[in-house]
């Protein structure tokens, strides 16, 4: 017990450092995306994410958008469980043969207008998994793709930039 108390006196503080300047750029970008989505759709932007066979590297970056640092839901960008509530289908990984039907069904279940965003190099053409017996191809081999965000994996700020470009481009 004495050892524990002594260690607690000499150990450095364990709290994390405040956000970097780059995080304020992230906040500005997410805020702009939220406003652009409200202007375009008249409400928050809803995203359904499908892992079609990724290594989960892209998922880690997408999940980061919802962590305590980024917390993009405060800007009106939310991830939803049902494709029936989604505006954007975010797809990662090469599309494996086992996931091809599920991906197509998810796309078909989304109401129009809807957009498909392929995230990561694998989503473009299979990436490092291309040619595998288990892979059907890139996302566009199964559903129509509106935007591809390159990277292995792309960073959260790059994912937000891509979504902003998509919302800004789709002026109706």
Residues near ligand SF4 (CB under 6 A):
54-55, 57-58, 92-93, 120-122, 127-128, 152-153
Cβ 154 to ligand SF4, closest distance in Å? Answer: 8
What is d(CA 168, CA 32) in angstroms, rounded to the nearest whole number?
10
Cβ 125 to ligand SF4, closest distance in Å? Answer: 11
Nearer to ligand SF4, 37 or 149 (CB): 149
155 phi and psi angles, rounded to 5 deg: -75, 160
Q: Which SS3 state, helix, strand or coil, does residue 136 take? A: strand
Give per-residue burial for 41-73: e unless 16+ CB within 10 Å, then b.
Answer: beebbbbbbbbbbbbeebbebbeebeeeebebe
**Residues 149 and 118 sit within 8 Å (Cβ to Cβ):** yes
Nearer to ligand SF4, 37 or 50 (CB): 50
Nearer to ligand SF4, 31 or 127 (CB): 127
Cβ 96 to ligand SF4, closest distance in Å? Answer: 11
Cβ 144 to ligand SF4, closest distance in Å? Answer: 20
Nearer to ligand SF4, 27 or 158 (CB): 158
What is d(CA 144, CA 11) in angstroms, rounded to the nearest whole number?
54
């Amino acid at each position: 017990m004495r050892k524990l108390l002594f260690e607690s006196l000499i150990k450095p503080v364990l709290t994390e450092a405040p956000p970097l300047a780059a995080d304020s750029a992230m906040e500005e970008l997410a805020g702009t995306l939220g406003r652009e989505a409200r202007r375009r759709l008249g409400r928050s932007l809803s995203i359904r994410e499908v892992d079609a066979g990724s290594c989960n590297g892209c998922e880690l970056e997408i999940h980061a958008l919802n962590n305590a640092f980024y917390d993009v839901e405060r800007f009106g960008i939310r991830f939803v469980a049902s494709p029936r509530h989604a505006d954007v289908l975010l797809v990662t990984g090469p599309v494996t043969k086992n996931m091809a039907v599920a991906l197509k069904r998810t796309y078909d279940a989304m109401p129009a207008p809807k957009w498909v965003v392929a995230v990561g190099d694998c989503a473009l053409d299979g990436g490092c998994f291309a040619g595998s017996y288990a892979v059907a191809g890139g996302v566009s081999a199964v559903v129509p793709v509106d935007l591809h965000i390159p990277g292995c994996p792309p960073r959260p700020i790059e994912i937000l930039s891509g979504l902003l470009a998509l919302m800004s481009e789709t002026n109706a």
